[in-house]
Amino acid sequence: MAKQIEGVSERILQCAKEEFLKNGYKDASLRVIAAAAGTSTNSIYVRFQDKQGLFRAIVEPAVDGMMKMFMDIQETFHQFDEQKQVETMGKYTADGMENIIDYIYENFDAFRLVLDASYGTEFQNFVDDLTRIEVEYTYKYMEVIGCESITSGQVTEEFLHIVTNAYFDSIFEIVRHRMKKQDAKRYVKMLERYHMAGFDTIFSPEKYEG
C-alpha cells in the first residue's frame, strides 16, 4: 500500500470546505477540490471514498458533538425530581443554550455547511433531528408536571413539532447571518424569552382562558 503524502488530507478538507460553502453539496465538484488542493480526484477517493464521505469528514465531528451535548442536557434535566424540574427549567434551559452557542461558534463553518450546504446528504435533516428530540423531552416534562394541555389532548405532538422547529430555525439564524458571538448570545436570550412566553400558554392554559 502506497504511503500517503503528509498534508494532502488537510489541504483536501480545507479546499472541500470552501467548495461546499460556495456551491453546496449537490453542485460541489471533486475535480475543483482536487485541483485547488494540488492533488487528484483519485487521492480524494482513496482517503474519503466519495463526495459524501468527504462532506461527512468535515461536518460529522461537529454534529456528533452537538447531539451528544444536547442529549446530555436533556437526560440530566429529566433525572431531576418534579419540583426541581419546575424550579430550574428556565435557568437550566438558558444555561444549556449558552453552552450550545459556545459550541456552535467553536465549529462555525461546519454548522454553516450543515444548515446551508447539506442537501443531498445524511445531515440535511439536522434541525428536524434536534426538533424530534426536543419534542420528545418536552412531552416528558409536561407529563411530569401534569400539564392540562397534554392530558386534555389540546396540545398534540404535531403542534409541539411546529413551534419547536420554528424555535430551532430561529436560533440557527445566528449562523446564517454570521453574527458575532456576543450579538448572537444577546439575540438567543431574547428569543428564549419570547419562546418561553409562548410556551406559558401551553404549560398554564388556565391563565389564558376566557
* Sequential DSSP letters for 144-163: HTT-HHHHTT-S-HHHHHHH
Residues 93, 88: Cα–Cα separation, whole Å: 8
What is the predicted pLDDT for the residue at 1?
35
Q: How many CB atoms lie within 10 A of CB 7?
A: 10
Give me the phi and psi of 11, to 5 degrees please. Answer: -65, -40
Reading the block at residue 206, the C-alpha cell is 388556565
Residues 149, 156: Cα–Cα separation, whole Å: 9
Whole-model pTM? 0.89
Mean pLDDT by 10 residues, the chain (210 residues): 69 97 97 96 96 98 97 94 91 92 97 97 96 92 84 83 94 96 96 88 69
Contact 12, 43 (CB under 8 A): yes
Instruction: Report in angstroms the alpha-carbon separations of 69 from 24, 63, 93, 128, 132.
Output: 27, 10, 13, 16, 15
Contact 31, 65 (CB under 8 A): no
Residue 18 CB-half CA count within 13 A: 11
What is the predicted pLDDT for the residue at 209?
63
Query: If you ran DSSP here, which 8-state letter would residue 125 be given?
Result: T
